[in-house]
Amino acid sequence: MDLPRQPLGRGGTGLDVVPIRCLLELSRFMRGRPSLEEVLDRLAGTVGQTLGFATVAINMYRPETDEYEVVTVYGNAQAREILLGNVTGADTWEPLLDPRFRRLGVYFIPEGALELDLTQRWYTPDLGHPGLDTEHAWRADDALFATLDGAGGRRYGVISVDEPVSGLRPDDQQLEVLDGLATHAGWAIDNARQVAALESALRRNRALITSSLDCVIGIDQAGNVIEFNPAAERTFGYRSEDVLGREHWPRVSGGCSGAGSRSRRCGPTAASCRSS
């Protein structure tokens, strides 16, 4: 994806164009049915480059253990070494996502507003931006989070960003864009998980059909053979590549009969017979 060179922020230019462009690019990428890993990698890079943050970590929620795990880190080697694979309990995130820190859909915690749990591993960058306006300068212990939520408010994870390239705290537009990216990503994670679940079900179905002792023959509405498993090959003496796509022949139509087989279950679009 061709990301903008000029990140959003105080004093930036093209502020109305960049957010729309980035959201469109992300939406176009999502339509390609990417895997969940690809979605998270693209999301971290888009947030970092578009909003101008040197470090972006994505914490995925594990409902089976009620924990968050850092699965993707966009940033320098030190940040990846400290953060990647880090696991925190859901209770650690409750004070961080307190409604009092919510602003324009995301959570900004200014330094000193909350005492961090020092038993957890945190990445504190070494900031070097001398001469910046003290009111708007990003502090080492500032924190910015955006939740990844799917349909029905299902929590998938949290995006954590740090080290603004400008050295400044985010303005309202940056917060709004971060919220927009997180919202799109939540929908994309929904889709990616649905696709993964469907593909897993199809693989299980394929394995079941392939290993079945029954001959399984599928015929579509036009009368073409669309399924012909190994048991059917042995029973009827045809290879699947010679049968698939052809109109069903007399041995298959009319009751699932054939030499060396007996009918077990038949219908207008499928046949299943036990090999003798």
High-pLDDT (> 90) share of the chain, %: 28
With bands split at pLDDT 50, 70 and 90, how would you rate the model's confidence at 35?
A: confident
Q: Is residue 202 part of a domain?
A: no
Pair (218, 190) in one structural domain: no
The span from the CA of 181 to the CA of 49, in Å, is 12
Pair (153, 190) in one structural domain: yes
Pair (31, 123) in one structural domain: yes
Single out the residue of 147, 165, 167 nearest to residue 157, CA to CA: 147
For residues 83-98, give the mean pLDDT. 93
Q: Is residue 4 part of a domain?
A: no
Pair (212, 193) in one structural domain: no
With bands split at pLDDT 50, 70 and 90, how would you rate the model's confidence at 10?
A: low
Single out the residue of 173, 178, 149 nearest to residue 161, CA to CA: 178
Domain boundary residue among 156, 177, 197?
Answer: 197
Domain of residue 242: give its range.
208-275
Pair (48, 166) in one structural domain: yes
CATH number for position 143 = 3.30.450.40
Domain boundary residue among 197, 232, 249?
Answer: 197
Tell me how many domains the chain contains. Answer: 2
Residue 197, pLDDT score: 65
Pair (85, 220) in one structural domain: no
Q: Is residue 9 part of a domain?
A: no
CATH number for position 240 = 3.30.450.20
User: Within 13 Å of residue 21, how many CA atoms lie on the same side as its CB?
Assistant: 16
Local structure of 56: helix, strand or coil: strand
Residue 222, pLDDT score: 80
Find residue 109's DSSP bridge partners: 143
Lowest-pLDDT range, 65-79, 124-138, 236-250? 124-138
The span from the CA of 2 to the CA of 74, in Å, is 17
The span from the CA of 105 to the CA of 182, in Å, is 10
Local structure of 17: helix, strand or coil: helix
Contacts for 176 with CB less than 8 Å, ≥ 6 apart: 19, 104, 105
Which residue's entry shows tokens 């968050």? 68
Domain boundary residue among 197, 217, 235?
Answer: 197
Local structure of 136: helix, strand or coil: coil
Single out the residue of 238, 239, 232 nearest to residue 274, CA to CA: 232
Tokens of 120: 């957890």
For residues 100-128, give the mean pLDDT. 82
Residue 3, pLDDT score: 42
Pair (218, 193) in one structural domain: no
Q: How far is CA 129 from CA 55, 164, 167, in A?
A: 16, 10, 6
Q: Is residue 6 part of a domain?
A: no
With bands split at pLDDT 50, 70 and 90, how would you rate the model's confidence at 91?
A: very high
With bands split at pLDDT 50, 70 and 90, how would you rate the model's confidence at 243?
A: confident
Residue 178, pLDDT score: 92
Q: Is residue 5 part of a domain?
A: no
The span from the CA of 86 to the CA of 123, in Å, is 11
